[in-house]
Amino acid sequence: MVDENKGRVSGDAQAMMMFEANKKSVGVSYLLWFFLGVFGGHRFYLKRTGSAIAILLLWIIGWISTAVVVGFALLAGVVVWVIVDAFLIPSWVRQHNNLLAAQLGAGSLVINP
């Protein structure tokens, strides 16, 4: 919706464009989970950085410590964690998108011109 007087996009249209540009996709999340799950790829994508780093570190430490058998337990723990994540991804994406919409609706998210 272009304002005829100024030739600029209205605030609502800007908010919609920001939402479309920043929303997360369940499909992309599952692709990242499938290919990069043990590295926390899906968690990085969904802005769950702390737990993504934890998965990544456990995976690396697990591989390093496989010589002393403890590593296999760490690797198994990461695999179980990632499998559980498969069931949580849809709610995380919905939560992220709802929060983004609320922030844009309240005008609390900065929109750069």
- 90-104 pLDDT, tens digit per residue, is 999 999 999 999 988
Nearest 5°: CA angle at 15, between 14 and 21? Answer: 90
In the predicted structure, residue 6 carries a pLDDT above the cut 70: no
Question: Percent helix, strand, coil in the chain (nearest 5)?
Answer: 80, 0, 20
For position 106, what pLDDT does the model report? 82
The dihedrals phi and psi of 2, each to the nearest 5 degrees, come to -95, 130
Contact yes or no for 78/58 (Cβ under 8 A)? yes
State whether residue 2 is helix, strand or coil.
strand
For position 10, what pLDDT does the model report? 77
Predicted structure pTM score? 0.84
Nearest 5°: CA angle at 15, between 41 and 112? Answer: 80
Q: What is the pLDDT of residues 30-88, one digit of tens each?
A: 999 999 999 999 999 999 999 999 999 999 999 999 999 999 999 999 999 999 999 99
pLDDT classification of 113: cutoffs 50, 70, 90:
very low
Position with higher pLDDT, 55 vs 9: 55
Give, in order, the Cα–Cα distances in Å from 46 to each of 5, 10, 20.
39, 29, 15
Nearest 5°: CA angle at 41, between 38 and 45? Answer: 155
